[in-house]
Amino acid sequence: MATPRRPVFREEAVLHTEGGGGGGDVLRLSPAWTRWTYWLLVALFLAVFSYGVFGTLYEYASGPAVVWVAGRADITATLAGTVSTIEVEPGQRVEPGAVLVRFHAAREEAELVRIQREFDLQLIKMMRDPADLAARETLTALRTQKDLAAARVEQLSVRASQAGVIGDVRIRPGQLLAAGDTVVTLMGEQTKYSIVAMMPAQYRPQLKPGMSLRFEVTGYRYAYQEMTIASVSKQIIGPSEVKRYLGQQIDDTVTIAGPVVLVEAVPPSATFEVDGRTFDFYHGMNGVAETRVRSESLLFSLIPGLRVVFGGPHG
């Protein structure tokens, strides 16, 4: 037995139409908030599209950096010896030729005293008899020996090579030093501060003097120091050459993993400010430096092929 067909229209709708009722309208099931949500999505899409077209991405070169103080001199021992007395202290101002450190020189001083005594005796003898040629020859030989002995005693004293202020004193009385060991650091009259940054080698073509550089001292997060690049080295060097350039005093304060280019920037002053407090820069302080090297449209970055089509800038 066949199933009776159901009418297409509801019975109420048919009766409403036969009774002279007006035409129907589209059935509205969506709530009112969907309308403003739709326009919000449209506005959001337009904003994202506009940012993609007009927005810019920046690329930064970043690397370790150290504070470099030019005009400072490391005063070294010229002979091996044991420290007897230290005549200066950090912060003390000295003039050229001032004695900084004395080494034990008891034997040399005793030899000088002996020769001086013999010299005086021979001098008296010659004065009594100016015609005594033997005394004259002996006196000449003793004068030479006395000068040599005095020079040995002088070599056991370390003197300032220039006027300045004593920085670090890295020795103590009784310490045995070898020739060439650093005794004290002397800050000269023309001290200059700079930041030496070690940037990855691939950025060398894009680095130029005059670019802005930002330096963050280790231990002072977000305390950025803005400055201008003064010079960029012509050559790319490796980690071992960087250590040789920095010197044995601070070469272990930075870690270099590959080839780098040296960039030097000059800070506006010899101090930096953190949370309203002012601190001094010191030789060897390290941190991180970065500089902006390239900018690119966000749209070209997302779709690299557009750069070829429209000839967009790269760098």
Contacts of 289 (CB under 8 A, 6+ apart): 62, 63, 64, 65, 195, 197, 199, 213, 214, 215, 216, 263, 265
pLDDT of residue 200: 93
Residue 226 has pLDDT above 80, yes or no: yes
Q: pLDDT grade, residue 274 (50/70/90)?
A: confident
Total Cβ atoms within 10 A of residue 39 = 9
Whether the CB-CB separation of 213 and 289 falls below 8 Å is answered with yes
Residue 108 has pLDDT above 90, yes or no: no
pLDDT of residue 229: 93
pLDDT of residue 310: 61
Sign of the four-CA dihedral 257, 249, 214, 233: negative
Residue 242 has pLDDT above 90, yes or no: no
Helix, strand, coil % over all residues of the chain, rounded to 5: 35, 35, 35
Q: Is 205 exposed, middle or buried (0-12, 13-18, 19+ CB in 10 A)?
A: exposed
Whether the CB-CB separation of 186 and 71 falls below 8 Å is answered with no
Provide the angle, in degrees to the nearest 10, between the axes of the packed helices 133-155 and 106-128. Answer: 160
Residue 59 has pLDDT above 60, yes or no: yes
Tokens, residue 263: 């960039």
Whether the CB-CB separation of 270 and 214 falls below 8 Å is answered with no
Q: pLDDT grade, residue 48 (50/70/90)?
A: confident
Largest CA distance in the chain: 167
Residue 1 has pLDDT above 60, yes or no: no
Looking at the chain, how many residues does it have? 315
> What is the tens place of the pLDDT at every residue in 152-198?
877 778 888 888 888 778 888 888 888 888 888 887 777 788 999 99
For residues 242 and 259, give the distance between their C-alpha atoms in angstroms, rounded to a whole number: 9
Domain spanning 57-70+189-310 has what CATH number?
2.40.30.170
* Nearest C-alpha neighbor of 297 from the set 281, 313, 279, 274: 313
Domains of the chain by residue range: 57-70+189-310, 105-155
Total Cβ atoms within 10 A of residue 281 = 19
Whether the CB-CB separation of 119 and 139 falls below 8 Å is answered with yes
Contacts of 224 (CB under 8 A, 6+ apart): 214, 215, 216
For residues 41 and 39, give the distance between their C-alpha atoms in angstroms, rounded to a whole number: 5
